[in-house]
Structure 1
Amino acid sequence: MNAPLRRVGVVVMVLFGLLFANLNWIQAYKADEYRTSDYNGRVQVATYDRKRGNIEAGGTAFAVSKETDGKLKFQRSYPGGAKYAHVLGYKPVNLAETGIEKVEDDFLAGTSDQLFASRFKDMFTGDKTGGGNVLLTVSKRAQDVAYEQLRNNRRDVSKGAAIAIDPHTGAVQALVSMPSFDPNPLASHDTNEATAAHNKLEQDTEGPLKNRALNEVLPPGSTFKIVVAAAALENGVGQETRIPAGASWTPPTSGTPIRNAAPSICPEDEVTLMNAVTESCNTGFAQLGVRLGADKIKEKARQFGFEQEDLTVGHLDQGGHPVAASRTGSMENPDGGVNPAGVAQSSIGQFDVRMTPLQGALIAGSIANGGSQMRPYLVRQLLGPDRTTSHYTAKPKELRRPVSGQVASDLRDMMVSVVENGTGRNAQINGYTVGGKTGTADIRPGIPPHSWFIGFALDKNGNPVSAVCVLLENGGDGGSAEAARIGGQIMRAAIADPGGR
């Protein structure tokens, strides 16, 4: 054999060797991945051959599967439309599922190990095993109110979020992100239609797919003063301790003065901590924060839940919607030295402080609950296809204890004063003790500030029944009063609906 033919023979043998190796790689290591891939047509047919379980809230199904005449036998449908989109997520054919649909996919699809007994029984009866059902904690009434009030807010704001939790358990009573979207087109069996719908939503500059209640991180404004007040109470300052205030104060090393929202707010040289919270005294908290120092403020924020990167909201034992981490920022100069101006601005919820609406609700909830912060969750129970067998029932878990019972009591008193005597009056509920804190977060000149409210409601026995956070992005001056009004309406609805507690 001449040299050219030998070279060709060697190349062919090498190529056959590579082909053989690749075939073995696919069969040995990639088979499961290809077999279970969402893009495998046979897998899709098998998936939609079984009726997927419901996702329900307050006794009403908001994610259901209906039989069709097509190749895929069941069509996923969302009767709640945009109102529940950010609670449920969605289950598309050729796109990645999200939210509760993703977290509980195996159980809803009926392929979970927990449902083995049901599948085994149906082997003998000839029945087609259906998927399991997921029951959520959401109060239908609170969710309805949160959605309608946020969508029809009196500030004509197009973006925002609201979340309410039961402070005693952590159960989510309402979760709304605005703008929302209709998940039904995303679940279409026409993959071109579903892809087009998804691309349109993804390209929308308003960001309807974003879950702002869990993933929006914005400067919290004066709501952060509750964290600073907690640090002060733990470092020798009492409700009636007088702290420096004044109409204007310029931090050391900074030529930019900090002023109050109005000349009538704490113009005197000193105010009590109680009055500083009630009136939302910027100059008082700026000076108090500098006196406490960055380390104490950052540590107290961390104890409330800032900086946590692994929190999820869904099933207490196996994840859920991911939650963005709230941050306090460095509060330092570029060289790492102390930055009094940064600490002062951070102490009033500005500078680099960023918070999610969920974090705001957790702060309010832990104060209402005597200092115990419960882990938030959405999945209340998992029921088998026959709806008689429970495979999981949520058992509330304490997430952390950011403050002592005494500090929580003092903070409760101050937040109640905000609602009874200060900027949170719109959140009042007849027959209940309501506490809260409003916040206005400046962005830059010419851009309306963000508007916040965090709050809680206690029954006549002092038991916490609801805690809420409302965010109106670019709500403008005075927008926090509207956020407080919406917060009060949501808590009132949660109180009226036993399913939300």
Structure 2
Amino acid sequence: MNRPLRRLAGVVALLFVTLFASTTYIQFVSAAELNAKPGNSRQLYAELGRDRGPILVGPDPVARGVPVDNPYNFLRTYPDGPTYAHATGYYSIRYGTAGMERAMNDVLAGTADRLFYRRVSEYLIGQEPQGASVELTIDPRAQRAAMDELKGRRGAVVALDPETGDVLALASSPTYDPNRLAGHDVEQIAQAWKDLNADPDKPMLNRGISELYPPGSTFKVITAAAALSSGQYQPDSLLPGPAELDLPLTDKNLPNYSSGPCGPGGEVTLTDALRTSCNTAFGQLGMDLGEDALQEQAARFGFGEELRIPLRVVPSVVPEGMNAPQLAQAGIGQFDVKATPLQMAMVSAAIANEGVLMKPNLVKSVRSADQTEVIDEPSPQEMGRAVSRDVAEQLTAMMREVVENGTGKNARIPGVEVAGKTGTAQHGGELNHAWFTAFASNGERQVAVAVVIEDGGGRSDASGGATAAPVAQRVMEAVVGG
């Protein structure tokens, strides 16, 4: 009789051990994984039922939670949704998060490590946990100017403060309304998601930081920087500037945009080559400098960097293993050279900042839910020196010539010093992308900007100077006045 009882007791004990082990595993080992499962409605209700912190531009919320009488407790709303959509992103019960809603999720939800003591104090006084506020660096005047100018066209505008790296505008067109994804009607959300993803113009694509374009002639600023930094060239150095550049290894020549030579006798100074955007001079310069010089200079401006601002930025690229004709094309921002608008804004910003490149940043501060207490305030971070102070001064003077007397006249602002570079980039389609990158100063404040208009806004006669420069002018004017 004792033996069967001992066996039964052993089985019961084994069952208790198994139950204890499985419970421990579920509660401690796999808890995070189970909580993260999309179908976990309890976790979803718990998260959505939390008072999520607002995202602010200045004192105004551009994303906030509104109390509602349903199991979710709060509805995420975006008061000026389309204007800031590519910065805020969305917070959806079905499709998760994007943009700053994702990048700063733990702060907005109140679960970040830096908010631990605040959570403890809220618990002790019996207060419901609240998320922190995130204030963006965006200048609302610059953002609205950018969105107004992009309306009806595909493209992007990025504006930076050269001294701090603060992102003053992050505009992408076409845009979308994140409110369509933030509701509580699952069927409506699913239909909105389907419509947005089926749109061939890709309204949810953040063209400012997630799309790579051939930068075209805006890249000539980098080629000029490499030349000046080599010590072998000065702004008045003479370069060959024929109507067509005879390229080795191919029967295809590199022509100028204007179809004629860039200067008398087929020669042009480096300054005038930039002012008139001379393809043949910069194509020859690309071959003479070589791949290493172009890649190293581009890297100093941020090409190849894995940036988070805290949104992830797709790294810009200068290809490897180029032959001579490809180097000539790379020297004018073609072949497989690719850049984001943010990257080209960084180029101008570094030159404006006496050659020092600052890390782009979209977060001005993290504050308490009532915005009375500063929890975190990111400090400006140097990424490194892109060019020497002397070279930065030389490039500034050359880029001012572009705006005052060259292809960038449409970017001039009365009473404000503006330096810039136009670009008209081929990309395999029938129409060319129109580019402009620039910086402006009123003596007290600076702004750097990059603009790309895809396919020139649909015009076959579009150019960087005619199409993109006016957009940059209005955005810069919104920051520094005129």
Question: What is the TM-score with the length of structure 1 in the denominator?
Answer: 0.88
**Would you say 1:323 and 2:318 are equivalent positions?**
no
Residue in 2 that maps onto 1:277 = 274
Counterpart CA distance in 2 for 1:19 and 1:451 is 66
Specify the code of the residue in structure 1 equivalent to 2:291. A
User: In the alignment, what sits opposite 1:459?
Assistant: 442
2:362 to 378, 384, 389: 378
After TM superposition, the structure 1 = structure 2 runs for residues 214-363 of structure 1, keeping only pairs within 5 Å, are 214-235=209-230, 236-263=232-259, 266-268=262-264, 269-308=266-305, 310-313=306-309, 320-332=310-322, 339-363=323-347
Aligned 8 A contact 2:241 2:261 in 1 = no
- Structure 1: how far apart are the matches of 2:298 and 2:113? 40
What is the aligned partner in structure 2 of residue 473 from structure 1?
454
SS of alignment partner, residue 188 of structure 2: helix
1:13 is matched with none
Task: Deviation per CA, 1:159-216: give whole Å up to 9, x if none.
Answer: 1000000001000000011111110011111223222222221222211111110011
**What residue in structure 2 maps to residue 489 of structure 1?**
474
Amino acid at match of 1:40: N
Deviation at 1:36, TM superposition (A): 4.5
Identical amino acids, percent of aligned pairs = 40
Change (3 A) 1:51 1:22: closer
Structure 1 position 28, deviation (Å): 5.1
Name the counterpart of 1:6: none
1:448 corresponds to which of 423, 431, 442: 431
Please report how far the alpha carbon of residue 122 of structure 1 lies from its aligned counterpart in structure 2 after TM superposition: 3.3
Structure number with greater CO (CA < 8 Å, separation at least 6) is: 1
* Structure 1 residues 18 and 130: CA distance shift in structure 2, 3 A: closer
User: 1 CA distance for matches of 2:188 and 2:357?
Assistant: 44
Aligned-partner Cα distance in 1 for 2:210–2:35: 33
Asked whether the 8 Å contact 1:134–1:382 carries over to 2, the reply is yes
Greater Cα offset, 22-31 or 250-259? 22-31
The SS at the match of 1:215 is coil
Other structure's SS at 1:212 match = coil
Match of 2:198 in 1: 203
Matched residue, 2:45 = 45
For residue 449 of structure 1, report the CA deviation from its aligned partner: 0.6
Cα distance between partner residues in 2 of 1:177 and 1:125? 44
Bigger CA drift: 42-51 or 56-65?
Answer: 42-51
Structure 1 residue matching 2:295: 3-state secondary structure: helix
Kindly report the root-mean-square deviation, in angstroms, between the aligned alpha carbons of the 2 structures.
2.1
Counterpart-to-counterpart distance in 1, 2:347 and 2:62: 30
Over 3 Å counting, the alpha-carbon distance change for 1:49 and 1:23 in structure 2 is: closer
Task: Please tell me the residue identity of whatever aligns with 2:205.
Answer: K
Q: TM-score when scaled to structure 2?
A: 0.91
How far residue 27 of structure 1 moved from its aligned partner, in angstroms, is: 5.0
Cα distance in 2 for partners of 1:33, 1:274 equals: 59
Aligned CA distance change for structure 1 residues 72 and 375 (closer, same or farther; 3 Å): same
Residue deviations 1:411-468 (CA, integer Å, cap 9, x gap): 0011000000011111111111000000011123x610111000000223xx661000
Counterparts of 1:173 and 1:330 in 2: how far apart (Å)? 33
Runs of at least 4 residues of structure 1 off by over 6 A?
Answer: 17-24
What is the aligned partner in structure 1 of residue 84 from structure 2? 84
Following superposition, the deviation at residue 391 of structure 1 comes to 0.7
What's the CA shift for 1:270? 0.8
One of 385, 390, 402 as aligned partner of 2:374: 390
Q: Which residue of 1 aligns with 2:4?
A: none
Deviations 1:327-377 (A, max 9, x none): 111252xxxxxx211111111111111111001000000001100010000
Is the 8 Å Cα contact of residues 369 and 464 (structure 1) preserved in structure 2?
A: no
Residue ranges of structure 1 left out of the alignment (5+ in a row)? 1-16, 153-157, 314-319, 333-338
Amino acid at match of 1:364: S
Seen in structure 2, the aligned counterparts of structure 1 residues 340 and 124 have a Cα distance that, compared at 3 Å, is closer
Counterpart contact for 1:330–1:352, Cα < 8 Å: no
Quick check: 1:331–1:346 contact (8 Å CA) kept in 2? no
Whether the 8 Å CA contact 2:334–2:426 is kept in 1: the answer is yes
Q: Secondary structure of the residue that 1:213 maps to in structure 2?
A: coil
Which segment is superposed worse, 161-170 or 25-34? 25-34
CA distance in 2, matches of 1:148, 1:49: 36
Inter-partner Cα distance in structure 2 for 1:321 and 1:412: 30
CA distance in 1, matches of 2:39, 2:357: 42
User: What SS does structure 2 have at the residue aligned with 1:492?
Assistant: helix
Q: Output the amino acid matched with 2:439.
A: F
* AA at the equivalent of 1:477: D
Structure 2 residue aligned with 1:14: none
2:138 corresponds to 1:138: yes
What letter is aligned with 2:113?
Answer: D
Which amino acid in 2 is paired with 1:449? N
Question: Deviation at 1:58?
Answer: 2.2
Shift of 1:23: 7.4
Correspondent of 2:168 among 173, 180, 186: 173
Counterpart position of 2:31: 31
- Asked whether the equivalents of residues 172 and 206 of structure 2 are also in contact (C-alpha less than 8 Å), the reply is yes
* CA distance 1:35–1:219, change in 2 (3 Å): closer
**Aligned counterparts of 1:81 and 1:52: Cα–Cα separation in 2:** 17
Secondary structure, counterpart of 1:468 in structure 2: strand
Do 2:154 and 2:454's aligned partners in 1 also have CA atoms closer than 8 Å?
yes
